Amino acid sequence: MKKLLIAAMFCVFLSPAFAGIDQGIDKGMTHISVLGGFAVPTSEYGFSPSDYGLYFDDENFDYGDVGPTYGLQIMHYLTKNIGLGLEFNAANYQKVEYTFSVGAVSETVKTSADKYSLFLVGKFNFAPDAKTRLYIPVGAGFAKYKGKMESDVFGEEEQSATKPALYVGLGVESDLNDIFFWGLEARYNHWWMDDDKFTDTNYLSDISLMLKIGVKL
């Protein structure tokens, strides 16, 4: 399922460019954008039920399933090609369910997670005077990650951590008129973790695809 979604993301991303009015970007312009889409986990917790002597297929726990991601960004252009700004971004990873047996007893474990991030962001525009523009977005900041594990035998446990985070991506946007624009943006998101909190690894990651709608100031 995840592989199909990732493939679909890039098929959509490489579709024909949007229609728009040739407006472009000027030095000193500010963009305010709302983003929304979905995030696909690309890493796992570093342990499995089999680590505890339970009968399982040695697959590590996922931290969650495909879920919504959304954000708000403000970007100011120092030049036509280069912008700097701030962004708040969140992702809510949906529950993954595992069922395994311990002798005659069957147990169900569910994992899910939420992540809230604040980034200093940068953007490099190709052909900034064009109505449809390809660009590279980057961000660095901090992410507050909260993971949850639910077991019908052992109950519920939550762990959280606030650690450095970053992303890099590729986007395309187009002007609808001299005020509004829209686009698509794909990102690789990476955040560090405490390896004693669920993970047994020091980072987690996802790939996200978001629709962007914005206004020029």
pLDDT tens column, 162-175: 999 999 999 999 99
pLDDT at 141: 98
Q: What is the pLDDT of residue 109?
A: 81
Beta-bridge partner residues of 128: none
Enclosing domain of residue 193: 2-216
Among 211, 210, 212, 213, which Cα is nearest to 180's? Answer: 213
Number of domains in the chain: 1
For residue 25, what is the domain's CATH number?
2.40.160.20
Position 137 pLDDT exceeds 70: yes
Alpha carbon distance 101, 107 (integer Å): 6
**Predicted confidence (pLDDT) per residue in 143-159, tens digit:** 999 988 887 766 788 88
For the stretch 68-115, pLDDT in tens is 999 999 999 999 999 999 999 999 999 988 777 666 667 788 889 999
Report which of residues 47 and 156 the model is more confident about: 156
